[in-house]
A and B are shown apart, each in its own frame.
Chain A
Amino acid sequence: MAWDWQVFCKETTSGDQVAGCFGKGGDITYLDWILSAWGWTMSVALLALVVAMVFGSIVGILRTTPDKRLVLFGNAWTELFRNIPLLVQIFLWYHVLPAIFPVLRGFPSFVLVVFALGFFTSARISEQVRAGIQSLPGGQRYAGLAMGLTLPQTYRYVLLPMAFRIVIPPLTSESMNIIKNSSVAFAVSIAELTMFAMQAGEETSRNIEMYLAVTALYFVSAFTINRIMLFVEGRVRVPGMIGGK
């Protein structure tokens, strides 16, 4: 089987080879297109990660408070978003919810996908944050309260600094997962890497080269996040604490 890596220098509308592989004056080559698709993948993934971290952390904390109503809300949130497949959730956000809440129709599909992916991952992050907080000895919370800190202050100054350091490895997994899960966004018309692979593969009939290039980009993206989190883990390490040197 013959490789044809020059296909990336082809212009997408006319099919001519472009010298230098980057299109000029409005022309786009497949190389330009794959880089733009990569940009979309990273945008969706990183924004969804921010949404997931914020909501996941809050819900995870709520599940460890003494107030039963907050715990119930946190549990309900987690179970709702954990028990429905991601692709189904994305279709719900894109087709079903805008039919029920017409205000959502004005939102671009990018925003809806970020929320769908973010809330799906937030359920998993809330579970990990809850596990991290509950793994701390119970005495930590009571010591904080006994010193006169309010409950929010106890969380902020005593519990969360330790809990988050403990759960950095699972959070790393979740961050990498979100890069990979962003591939389902192709189903709702986001021009990201998976859609590029399918469409460009069809247009050029060079499916293997396209899928290999997309695989390499997904791998590089996920691995980069992995290394960044490893760096973060090293920097925030506290000697004497779990995971510390």
Chain B
Amino acid sequence: MKKSLLVLATLAAFAAHAQTTDTLKKIKDSGAVTMGVRESSGALSYTLGDGKYAGFHVEVCTRVLADVQKQLGLAKLDIKYQPVTSQNRIPLVQNGTVDIECGSTTNNATRQKDVSFAVTTYVEEVRIAVKANSGITSIAQLKDRNVATTTGTTSVQLLRKHERAAGIDFKEVFGKDHADSFLLLESGRADAFVMDGQILAGNIAKAKNPADFKIVGEVLSVEPIAIMIRKDDPAFKKAVDDSIVAMMKSGDIAKMYDKWFMQPIAPSNTKVGLPLSDATKAAWASPNDKPVEEYAKK
């Protein structure tokens, strides 16, 4: 009896490993797909409350899934929304809980070992947000000041690299999420908040007094943000890529960008006001899934 239990357990462990990464088949069989979304990632993906999610990437993904539904010939496709965090987004995609993650994930070489990325839809520039009256205009002036950033993001390592490279010494304070980090800047515990430009712009737009804040300084890093899918699933990647490339060629993606970044958006009807950067325009003109390391080489 004991021996057969052991054999069963081993088989189960192997079976779990031998899971097929054929997302299209999984969607066709179950008639449902799980979209990973963020609760507050600027205008890319955020919650409107009550289990509803909105944002530039959420809309791109909704269009992608509509194209997948047409491709598979499904009468009905049930989209489930799964909120994810910076820590759990990759494990959830890997283990099959989330089929397509539509948030603000940077495409880099380390992550490409665990997951695949669709073609880059948005290129982010890491900037600094400060209080308008602080007089800080560049990273060099952050010497001996308090700089806030969010735990579990690529910006933390970026700041560390800058500190070492430029020999500037500043004190880091960590917020547990973007809203918390912005609160540190608002309350004065931090003199600057370093994060992706669109998160800074989104937080400033939602602040009590948006005019009190400014995004300043040189671009600290250029990062391609892309939609995440499982690794070793070429059929699904082709479906997602084809759909996004079609949006880029038809100009729909530019219209979507304008809708989310330049027009007032729910829930507070304020606009983010971040104009289309040249890097993003270039990424749309020649669709690719190059990781951030290739952008840094230029």
Residues of A at the B interface (CB closer than 8 Å) are 12-13, 26, 95, 98-99, 105, 109, 186-187, 189, 191, 195, 198-199, 201-205, 207
Once A199-B152, A205-B111, A205-B113 are accepted as A-B contacts, the answer to whether A13 and B164 lie under 8 Å apart by CB is yes
A12 touches B157 (CB 8 A): yes
Name the one of B111, B113, B175, B188 contacting A189, with C-beta atoms under 8 angstroms: B175
Distance A203 CA – B174 CA, assembled complex (angstroms):
15
Distance A198 CA – B151 CA, assembled complex (angstroms):
7
B contact residues around A95 at 8 Å (CB): 183, 187
Q: Please, which residue of chain A has its CB at the minimum distance from the CB of B176?
A: A187
A105 touches B188 (CB 8 A): yes
Other than A189-B174, A189-B175, A189-B184, give 19 A-B pairs with Cβ distance below 8 A.
A12-B160, A13-B157, A13-B160, A13-B161, A26-B164, A99-B187, A198-B87, A198-B151, A198-B152, A201-B152, A202-B87, A202-B152, A202-B153, A202-B156, A203-B156, A203-B157, A204-B110, A207-B87, A207-B90
- Secondary structure type dominating chain A contacts: helix
Distance A199 CA – B176 CA, assembled complex (angstroms):
11
Asked if B137 CB lies within 8 Å of chain A CBs, one says no
Number of cross-chain contacts by CB at 8 Å: 54
B188 touches A202 (CB 8 A): no
Determine how close the nearest CB of chain A comes to the CB of B240; give it in whole angstroms: 22
Q: Please, which residue of chain A has its CB at the minimum distance from the CB of B180?
A: A187
B contact residues around A201 at 8 Å (CB): 87, 152
Asked if B221 CB lies within 8 Å of chain A CBs, one says no
Q: Please, which residue of chain A has its CB at the minimum distance from the CB of B156?
A: A199
Asked if B91 CB lies within 8 Å of chain A CBs, one says yes
Per-position 1/0 for B77-120, Cβ under 8 A of A: 00000000011001100000000000000000011011000000
B160 touches A199 (CB 8 A): no
Determine how close the nearest CB of chain A comes to the CB of B229; give it in whole angstroms: 16
Asked if B173 CB lies within 8 Å of chain A CBs, one says yes
Name the one of B111, B164, B174, B187 contacting A195, with C-beta atoms under 8 angstroms: B174
- 4 closest residue pairs by CB, A with B: A189-B174, A189-B173, A202-B152, A198-B152
B contact residues around A109 at 8 Å (CB): 173
Determine how close the nearest CB of chain B comes to the CB of A116; give it in whole angstroms: 15
Name the one of B153, B161, B176 contacting A186, with C-beta atoms under 8 angstroms: B176
Once A13-B160, A95-B183, A99-B187 are accepted as A-B contacts, the answer to whether A205 and B110 lie under 8 Å apart by CB is yes
Determine how close the nearest CB of chain B comes to the CB of A80; give it in whole angstroms: 24
A contact residues around B161 at 8 Å (CB): 13
Distance A239 CA – B291 CA, assembled complex (angstroms):
71
Enumerate 22 A-B pairs (CB-CB under 8 Å) in ascending A order: A13-B157, A13-B160, A13-B164, A95-B183, A95-B187, A98-B187, A99-B187, A105-B189, A109-B173, A186-B174, A186-B176, A189-B184, A191-B174, A195-B174, A198-B152, A199-B151, A199-B174, A202-B154, A205-B110, A205-B111, A207-B87, A207-B91
Name the one of B90, B187, B188, B189 contacting A205, with C-beta atoms under 8 angstroms: B90
Per-position 1/0 for B243-285, Cβ under 8 A of A: 0000000000000000000000000000000000000000000
B contact residues around A204 at 8 Å (CB): 110
Determine how close the nearest CB of chain A comes to the CB of B38; give it in whole angstroms: 15
Determine how close the nearest CB of chain A comes to the CB of B227; give it in whole angstroms: 18
Cβ < 8 Å to A, chain B residues 186-217: 187-189
Determine how close the nearest CB of chain B comes to the CB of A192; give it in whole angstroms: 11
Determine how close the nearest CB of chain B comes to the CB of A188; give it in whole angstroms: 8
B contact residues around A202 at 8 Å (CB): 86-87, 152-154, 156
Determine how close the nearest CB of chain A comes to the CB of B197; give it in whole angstroms: 20
Query: Most A CB atoms within 10 A — which of B86, B174, B188, B189?
Result: B174
A contact residues around B184 at 8 Å (CB): 189
B contact residues around A12 at 8 Å (CB): 157, 160
B114 touches A205 (CB 8 A): yes
A contact residues around B90 at 8 Å (CB): 205, 207
Distance A12 CA – B172 CA, assembled complex (angstroms):
15
